[in-house]
Amino acid sequence: MSKRMPGRFKFFIGGSILGAITCYYLNKPRQLKEWSPITGPYTKDISPREKQWPPSVPIPFGYPGPINDAFPRKAYYASYNRQLRHPNWVFEHLTNESLKIGEGVDRKFSKFHEDPEIPAMFSAKLTDYYKSGYDRGHMAPAADARFSQESLNETFYLTNIAPQVGVGFNRDYWAFLEEFCRRLVHKELFTDVYVFTGPAYLPYEENGKLMPFHYACNWYVKYKLIGDPPNVAVPTHFFKVVLAVKNDDSQTSGKLYALDCFLIPNQSIPHNAPLENFVVPLNALERATGLKFFENLREKTVPLCEATKCVLVPPLRWMITLTQDDNF
Q: Quick check: helix, strand or coil at residue 257?
A: strand
Q: What's the pLDDT score for residue 124?
A: 98
* CA dist., res. 205 & res. 248, Å (int): 45
Q: Which residues are catalytic?
A: 138
* CA dist., res. 204 & res. 12, Å (int): 7
Q: What's the pLDDT score for residue 56?
A: 62
* Numbered residues of the known binding site for Mg(2+): 170
Comparison of pLDDT for 323 and 90, the residue scoring more: 90
3-state SS, 64-85, equals CCCCEEEEECCCCEEEEECCCC
Of 92, 104, 187, 95, which is closest to residue 141 (Cα–Cα)? 92
What 22-29 contacts at long range (C-beta under 8 Å, 24+ apart), as own/partner pairs, is 22/66, 22/68, 23/68, 24/68, 24/69, 24/70, 24/79, 24/88, 25/49, 25/50, 25/53, 25/67, 25/68, 25/69, 25/70, 26/50, 26/69, 26/70, 27/67, 27/69, 27/70, 27/117, 27/118, 28/117
Write the pLDDT tens digit of every residue in 259-300: 999 999 999 999 999 999 999 999 999 999 999 999 999 789
Write the pLDDT tens digit of every residue in 182-194: 999 999 999 999 9
pLDDT-based confidence at residue 8 (cuts at 50, 70, 90): very low
Of 144, 139, 186, which is closest to residue 158 (Cα–Cα)? 139
pLDDT-based confidence at residue 60 (cuts at 50, 70, 90): confident
pLDDT-based confidence at residue 23 (cuts at 50, 70, 90): very low
Q: With a cut of 60, say whether residue 247 has pLDDT above it.
A: yes
Q: With a cut of 80, say whether residue 121 has pLDDT above it.
A: yes
Mean pLDDT of 167-196: 97
Mean pLDDT of 130-156: 98
Write the pLDDT tens digit of every residue in 233-246: 999 999 999 999 99
Of 327, 328, 326, 325, which is closest to residue 137 (Cα–Cα)? 325
* Numbered residues of the known binding site: 170
